[in-house]
Amino acid sequence: MTIPAVLFAVAAVGGLVLAVQRLRGEPRPSLPLALVHGLFAAAGLLALALAVLGADEASGLAQAALIGFLVSALGGFVLFATHLQKKALPIPLMVVHALVAVAAFGMLLVVVI
């Protein structure tokens, strides 16, 4: 579970930069950074899914983290689609996306540590 945690940590740094850009007034933050953020998050999601689904007895917390990251990914897809439509990213959705991801990351860290 360490590899997914590292991948999500890198994604989180990119997400934080994207959020700061949006909150400072940019209607659409950096697209290249959004792509890198999404790639690291998708890689983390895949790695976590493989670890949880491949384990004989995955902890309930690891399963909850996976579900949380899946929910956050849905929000990320909507944000990315909005970005591609050249519309301003909705700040409330961005905040919910981030909060769900942070909660899932916290659960994953408890599992790893």
The CA distance from 27 to 107, in Å, is 31
Of 42, 47, 41, 39, nearest to 4 (Cα)?
Answer: 47
- Tens digits of residue pLDDT in 21-65: 999 999 999 999 999 999 999 999 999 999 999 887 778 999 999
71-79 contact pairs (CB < 8 A, 24+) = 71/100, 71/104, 72/41, 72/97, 72/100, 72/101, 72/104, 73/41, 73/42, 73/45, 75/100, 76/38, 76/41
Over residues 11-17, mean pLDDT: 97
Residues spanned by the domain of 23: 2-112
| Residue whose pair of structure tokens reads 């301003």 in the numeric block | 88
Q: What is the pTM of this model?
A: 0.91
User: What integer pLDDT is reported at residue 59 of this predicted model?
Assistant: 86
Counted domains in the chain: 1
User: What integer pLDDT is reported at residue 36 of this predicted model?
Assistant: 97
Return mean pLDDT, the chain: 95
